[in-house]
Amino acid sequence: MDALQEWHAHVVDLKTLFSHWEARQAAGLPMTKRSREILTICLFTLCLENNENKRFLVGFPQLGPGSQPALLRQLFDDCFGEIDEWDVILVPDLGPDGPSERDIHQCQLVSYLNRTGGTDDLIAFLEEKKLKVPRDDDLRLIVHLEQPTAFDWVKLAIHFQIRRPKCPYSQVFLLAQTDREGKAYWSCRQLYPLMIPLRDMDLKAARAVLLDRKTIVVPRTHPQ
């Protein structure tokens, strides 16, 4: 995107976004590409928040000046709120009385699904789909393993760190669900520029973090 282009974002709090995702699933609505992306950013953000005393709002960027707020259901439309490589942005939740100007984190999301599995195939998939792009020092890549597969965190991190040309993203994270004695956990690691493990999160921890919000930003549910 041209640095001088005007853009805006439709911002929503994580609790509202995830609650609507769950309601759609309970209603039997299809798991679209956008629904999977929203699940990815919700789980990733909860993992971040579970590791530090920070909260984030989720933004769906669009080119041009802002007109009217989006409907909540529009956020789940495929390709809604994307600019080039930006799928979503994370905005620090500094509370309703916080400053209007805040740092943003531009995120690109990718799902690993319906593949043969394994570390080597995951590397091949990312090389083909996501690593042959111009470098962007403001963009982070979030990889969500949506299928069961064995993989090596360390081998993945080494690949990104020694890759030439250098990895085109400022940061790369990998998110995966693991099961222990029948209990679901979500594991997240930063792979690049350094390998940094985040604390694993179970459903109880996720619910507790989800409820602990500073700001509630609810998009419209009906046209005006």
Rounded to an integer, the average pLDDT of 146-168 is 96
- Cα 103 from Cα 206, distance rounded (Å): 24
b/e for 88-97, b at 16 or more Cβ within 10 A?
Answer: bbbbbbeeee
pLDDT band, very low/low/confident/very high, at 224 (cuts 50, 70, 90): very low
| Average pLDDT, integer, range 130-136 | 93
**193: cis peptide before it, omega within 30°?**
yes
Residue 159: per-residue pLDDT = 98
- CA angle centred on 77, ends 75 and 79, rounded to 5°: 100
What's the pLDDT tens digit per position in 1-55?
555 578 878 889 999 999 999 999 999 999 999 999 999 999 999 999 999 889 9
Cβ-based burial of 206 (10 A; exposed 0-12, middle 13-18, buried ≥19): buried
Would you call 30 helix, strand, or coil by DSSP? coil
CA distance 149 to 134: 29
Average the pLDDT over 158-176 and give the result: 97
The two three-digit tokens of residue 31, written as one number: 């798991």
- Give the rounded percent of residues in the chain with a pLDDT score beyond 70: 93
Q: Give, for 141, the enclosing helix (H) or strand (E).
A: strand 136-145
- What average pLDDT does the segment 188-206 reach? 96
Cα separation, 17 vs 75, whole angstroms: 9
- Residue-range domain boundaries for the chain: 7-211
Q: Nearest CA to 14 among 59, 76, 68?
A: 59
CA dihedral 134, 76, 9, 216 (to 10 degrees): -130
* Structure-model confidence comparison of residues 203 and 65, the more confident one: 203
Q: How far is CA 161 from CA 123, 154, 195, in A?
A: 13, 10, 9
Q: What is the pLDDT of residue 140?
A: 97
In a 13 Å sphere around the CA of 188, the CA atoms on its Cβ side amount to 25
Q: Tell me, what's the pLDDT at 1?
A: 52
First to last CA, the chain: 32
Collapsing DSSP states into helix, strand and coil, what is residue 204? Answer: helix
Main-chain dihedrals φ then ψ at residue 120, nearest 5 degrees? -65, -40
pLDDT of the residue at 66? 65
Residue 86: strand pairing partners: 83
Output the pTM of the full model: 0.91
